[in-house]
Amino acid sequence: MSIDPRFSLLGLLIGFLIGLTGMGGGSLMTPIMILVMGVKPLVAVGTDLAYGALTRMVGASTHLRQGTVHRRTAYLLAAGSVPATILGVGLVTQIKSSNPSLVDGFLLRSIAWALILVAIILGAKPFLVAGASRLGLRTSRDWRGEMVSAGERHLWVLPAIGAVVGFLVGLTSVGAGSLVIVTLFFLYPRWQVKDLVGTDVFHAAILVSGASIAHFVAGDVNVPMMASLLIGSIPGVLLGSRLVLAVPEPLLRLGLASVLLVSGMQLL
């Protein structure tokens, strides 16, 4: 099994972003693999998810040791996301078996629109948060007069959001961190950034593990490529997890949104 240093360097960069922000894994890795490395879309999705699962496990263990994971929230998200991601992988597998010539074009467009969606949500985050605050969606008082967040009031929202994200991840590998961390920001406005990122990474480890197993069974994972990515990504995610508060969030968010938007437009 030969190691490709290009993929190791790419894994280092993406792993660092995963640990630092809880987003940027599949959203950046998959389009780079397709547009820059010339990997076929189906193999890019399956390999990215398999690599991402192991990377996120390392990041999740670091956040657990640091006490930045709200496990109940992560488990409720996973209750919806894991079954839905298996459904997404099943849809791709069905298309591959019934019409192999269609699957690459279908995946390219699905990935492109998923990237554009994530870019829009990241770019519009301050406006969305301001609007939610004006409408009183973020916090309110309970029967005791204490302030509670929307996530604490409506637990059913978590599996529902998880199902949407899970299906998208199974289909495209995009959105496991990017969409969930924005959702958590809305639902739990009183959490510190490190808790948002830690919970997001922990849930993503569960979700992406389910999706990667399904893709591995379907034969969509390139193992040597995955190993090359892991050599770089594991030290990257460890470093990112330790520097979670060091990079200004607005700068990183807008930079990621711009890259995702351009990538999505290139894939259309």
Parallel/antiparallel/unpaired status of strands 147-149 and 139-141: antiparallel
Task: Determine the pLDDT at residue 81.
Answer: 92
Q: How many CA atoms lie within 13 A of 121 on its CB side?
A: 18
Spell out the domain ranges in the chain: 5-267
Show the tokens assigned to 211. 């999706």
Please tell me the least confidently modeled range out of 54-58, 221-225, 256-260, 264-268: 256-260
Please tell me the least confidently modeled range out of 40-44, 50-54, 172-176: 172-176
Per-residue pLDDT at 57 exceeds 60: yes
Is the Cα dihedral 49, 115, 260, 150 positive or negative? negative
Per-residue pLDDT at 139 exceeds 70: no
Is the Cα dihedral 128, 130, 133, 135 positive or negative? negative
Task: Determine the pLDDT at residue 248.
Answer: 67
Residue with tokens 């809305």: 186
Residue pLDDT, tens place only, 118-133: 788 777 777 766 665 5
Please tell me the least confidently modeled range out of 47-56, 129-138, 139-148, 244-253: 139-148
Beta-strand ranges (E) seen in 84-238 are 139-141, 147-149
φ and ψ at residue 13, rounded to 5 degrees: -65, -50
Please tell me the least confidently modeled range out of 79-88, 124-133, 134-143: 134-143
Task: Determine the pLDDT at residue 40.
Answer: 87
Task: Determine the pLDDT at residue 142.
Answer: 44
For residues 200 and 184, the answer to whether their CB atoms sit within 8 Å is: yes
